[in-house]
Structure 1
């Protein structure tokens, strides 16, 4: 019985050390594949003035190869992204789509202390817009998401600035 208890305790320790997500070794177990793991969790997203913007559930899927985001405001807007590290190109990729018909294709990587993904989008009027989203983990366990938009040769402006705060079990958006 003591051998079984030791094995169970070892498994519990591995799961706890991985933030509650057991990961086997495999094609997506490299340090690069783990760079975005700080975003995994159940979050309440606040605007800079403290208003709840929505709830976001970020989870690791497919053996740690995919991070799925599910966002909802509770006021009719929702969206979802799939994120993966492309080891052959050494780049992170995100595909975002939402209930407003928006499709964003972003790519980038870990830059200093932040994940930075960028891409172009064609607006309804045909103009090209540059998109940049930066996720920065903070020492207190929160995460800042700063989404910026710019015309091809113009200045960046903030489209969204959210502070992710962890919450206990949340129903899926």
Structure 2
């Protein structure tokens, strides 16, 4: 028993000591959290909400985008009309100055980054990797806030042969309860 005590407890003490500065920094009164105070962390807030997702005239799914971790993370939880799901983590990286999204579903993984363009459109570029084939393709996402409060989402994949971007998914997000 003494050996177990000597092995485990020093680790617990070290872990507790390392956690204290983080906990204290989060609890400092009257100091706004950087993810709430810095406007760069709020650039994608137009996408936060509960949404009905419409392509053409048909509802293709629902999506919930929530602000988590003190505003440092936007968590996406997608459900298609057929019951498929996917999730993404979206966050501002203060080191690179870019937004990044990591999407994971049963079909593929997307990892891309970027930011707002001059028109206020969130544009992210990177790669999609398909689980079944292992193929990797250049991928682009565009989220355009509309004057009526909707958000147009366009997902595009680059054709390796032509070099052109082709739409994979284009839909409009309508806030639930707003028609």
Query: Normalization by structure 2: what TM-score?
Result: 0.75
The residue number in structure 1 matching 2:70 is 63
- Alignment pair present for 1:168 and 2:177: yes
In structure 1, the gaps of 5 or more residues are 1-23
Stretches of 4+ aligned residues off by more than 6 angstroms: none
- Alignment pair present for 1:129 and 2:137: yes
- Displacement of 1:28 after TM fit? 0.8
SS of equivalent residue, structure 2 residue 53: strand
- The alignment yields a C-alpha RMSD, in angstroms, of 1.8
The residue number in structure 1 matching 2:32 is 25
> If each structure's helix is expressed as a fraction of its own residues, which one has the higher value?
2
The residue number in structure 2 matching 1:53 is 60
Highest RCO, 1 vs 2 (Cα 8 Å, sep ≥ 6)? 1
Bigger Rg, structure 1 or 2 = 2
In structure 2, the gaps of 5 or more residues are 1-30
The residue number in structure 1 matching 2:83 is 76
> In structure 2, what is the Cα distance between the partners aligned to 1:37 and 1:92?
12
Query: Normalization by structure 1: what TM-score?
Result: 0.77
Per-residue displacement from partner, 1:130-157 (whole Å, max 9, x unpaired)? Answer: 1000000001000000000013461011
The answer on whether the counterparts of 1:42 and 1:168 sit within 8 Å (CA) in structure 2 is no
The answer on whether the counterparts of 2:110 and 2:129 sit within 8 Å (CA) in structure 1 is no
The residue number in structure 1 matching 2:167 is 158
- Alignment pair present for 1:36 and 2:44: yes
Within 5 Å, which residues of 2 pair with 1:71-150? 71-100=78-107, 102-112=108-118, 113-123=120-130, 125=133, 127-150=135-158
The answer on whether the counterparts of 1:128 and 1:151 sit within 8 Å (CA) in structure 2 is no
